[in-house]
Amino acid sequence: MPHQLTCPQCQKGTVLRSLPRSPREHVASWIWISPFHCQECSYRFLACRIGLVEPKHAIDRREHLRIPVRLFLSFSGGKVRGEGIVMDLSMGGCIIKSDAQVHIDDIFYLEIAISDQESPIEVAAMVRSISSRGIAFKFLRKAQDNKQLLAFIQSNAGTTSTVLSKAVASAAAR
């Protein structure tokens, strides 16, 4: 019978499968043991995949849960300065819409405005890809190191993950 995996450290069900990083994790993956990480407390652990509810869609297999947002951002790096709108945000990075000319592997300092009452989230990021969806940035430090970013993601992840879970469940029922 399929079951949902929970984090052994915080006991939350916000666990996603990760890509193997170490030789130990690669070898373990041959026998259906995979690395997982908790979106809530960032604890990383190995667990057996047999009998787990496996995601069917690529979006469900992401390493970090993406939160759809519409936040103003400004960025600068080298001689390039720009502004844009953050379309989605995760613990690992964000996707923005902007008219600025950037290149893959460019490094920028981002300022993301989360509200009028709070100072902007400040983070260093690298351009990972550029597509019709927008510019994808990967944060250079873990979101856990940026308390303001971590708090924003955690406060907004609950409603998004609930909506996503319901959408995936209804799609699977069809």
Query: Domains plus CATH for the chain?
Result: 1-54 (2.20.25), 67-150 (2.40.10.220)
**Do residues 42 and 12 make contact, with C-beta atoms less than 8 angstroms apart?**
no
Q: pLDDT tens, 124-161?
A: 999 999 999 899 999 987 656 778 887 888 787 765 44
**What integer is the mean pLDDT of 69-95?**
92
Q: How far is CA 37 from CA 6, 56, 158, in A?
A: 10, 18, 17
Q: Work out the pLDDT band at 74, boundaries 50, 70, 90.
A: very high
**What integer is the mean pLDDT of 86-91?**
90
Instruction: Give the containing element (helix H, strand E) for 44.
Output: strand 44-48
